[in-house]
Amino acid sequence: MQFQKLPVNERAAKLNADVERVVNDTVRAYDRFMGKVGLGGRRAAYDDEHYEFVGGASDTLRKKHYDKSLRLLWKAEHVAPWSSFKDAGEAERALLSAAEHGMTDQEKAARRRISSKEFRALLDREYTPAEKRALVKILSKIGHGEAYAWLVSASMLTEVQSTGARAAVTMQIMEEAKHFVVLRELIEAFEVEIPRQAAWDYLLLEGSLRVKGLNRFFAMNVLIETIALSIFGLLSDKPGLEVLRNFHLDESRHTALPDNYFREFPMTEWQKKSPAARLARLGMSLPAVPLVLYLEPELAELGVDVFEFAGSVLRKAMNLAERSGFLLPLPSKTLLTVFNAVFNAYCRATRQGHQWRDYMAADTTHGAAEAAVEREIFGGHSAAAQ
């Protein structure tokens, strides 16, 4: 490449460079001082001298969450052909039509783009009005939850350190945005009234936005997303709800994020164990229990025992909390025993001929793929795979 060089006034260039050096030293010294005395300082946790966010590259986190999210990225146009989304690219459309060549006519018919009208007819065929209302009530809890997941994950972008963790959180924000808009169309397709938030999810979700700093990881990624994951795992094998499989897979990565993050940026012993933090976490979690119990009639309509569902959620959330270092006032094993006793006492009072049951051992996730994904997160291994 040939460039036509232009003359430069050396003295002016040197003067500009000298002025910049003085201003740079002053600005940065001022921000360092203000940061040290707690009066502000540099706003961005960004280290331009190393071309990295403060905290370093964190490539492991980036690979587990950002790269993996991109690998598993799904498009609503593809998995929810009945929706209004037009988000698939040329290559994806070409792949889809190539895949259809190898299908039988029956498979093609099932796979073929079904219109919104046909999808609504399918829901009417598969479910009674009472079942549709039950499904919408349960799904709307997560629908409202996705709005908060979007907001909370966006707020985490300024809480985490390192380039890798920010890339991971950025993918979560993008996925929560997709969850909110796609789930809303799915819920609207049932054509029944969509309930507002109940007091319990209002308290739980508002609490997740109010809580400070990394404890938002506990409120959202550990607690609320475990409830979401459990609902998706329960419903993704039902007719018309297959798209929830993709949600389930995304949420599994989100629930694994705190554990993976703390492996690289551990919490202090005080952050994990201080009595105030333990109590605050228990306080944050409490609305989850009446929330799940509030869904008893709707779960019963679908043939699911609310206490089995609640036991399965509690076991997963508490084990995950403990493993991530978010300790509660009592060890998870003890808390689960207490909840089991409370659930059995409630059932003795409300159900005829109730026999003691270990609700904490229940698992309401259906589908082999979903169970395998959950084993990976809740079964004691590190996080949503490599």
Q: Binding residues for Fe ion, per CB under 5 A?
A: 146, 149, 176, 179, 225, 251, 254
Q: Which is nearer to Fe ion, 201 or 251 (CB)?
A: 251
Instruction: State the burial class of residue 47 (Cβ atoms within 10 Å of its Cβ: 0-12, 13-18, 19+).
Output: middle
Rounded (5°) CA angle 101-107-111: 85
* Secondary structure class of 46 (helix, strand, coil): strand
Q: In the complex, what is the shortest distance from the CB of residue 229 to Fe ion, in angstroms, rounded to a whole number?
A: 8
Half-sphere exposure of 194 (CA within 13 A, CB side): 15
Cα angle vertex 224, ends 66, 357, to 5°? 125
> For residues 187 and 360, which CB has a smaller minimum distance to Fe ion in the complex?
187
- CB 251, min distance to Fe ion, A: 5
- CB of 115 vs Fe ion, minimal distance in Å: 26
The span from the CA of 235 to the CA of 243, in Å, is: 10
Cβ-based nearer residue to Fe ion, 187 or 336: 187
Q: How many CB atoms lie within 10 A of CB 4?
A: 4
CB of 185: closest distance to Fe ion in angstroms? 15
Q: Least distance to Fe ion from the beta carbon of 279, Å? A: 26
Identify which of residues 122 and 174 has a Cβ nearer to Fe ion in the complex: 174
Instruction: Give least dist CB 149 to Fe ion, A.
Output: 5
The one-letter code for the residue type at 255 is T
Contacts of 74 (CB under 8 A, 6+ apart): 246
Hey, what long-range contacts does 358-361 have (CB within 8 A, 24 or more apart)?
358/311, 359/307, 359/308, 359/310, 359/311, 360/311, 360/314, 360/315, 360/336, 361/311, 361/315
CB atoms within 10 A of CB 358: 12
Task: Tell the smallest beta-carbon distance from residue 55 to Fe ion (Å).
Answer: 22
Q: How many CA atoms lie within 13 A of 48 on its CB side?
A: 5
Q: How far is the CB of 1 from Fe ion (least distance, A)?
A: 48
Q: How many angstroms separate the CA atoms of 250 and 175, rounded?
A: 7
What is the nearest approach in angstroms of Fe ion to the Cβ of residue 210? 19
Q: Which is nearer to Fe ion, 96 or 174 (CB)?
A: 174
Which is nearest to 221 in space by CA: 311, 137, 284, 140? 284
Instruction: Compute how many other C-beta atoms are within 10 angstroms of the C-beta atom of residue 379.
Output: 9
In the complex with Fe ion, the residue whose CB is nearer, 176 or 301, is 176
* Between 242 and 296, CB nearer to Fe ion: 242
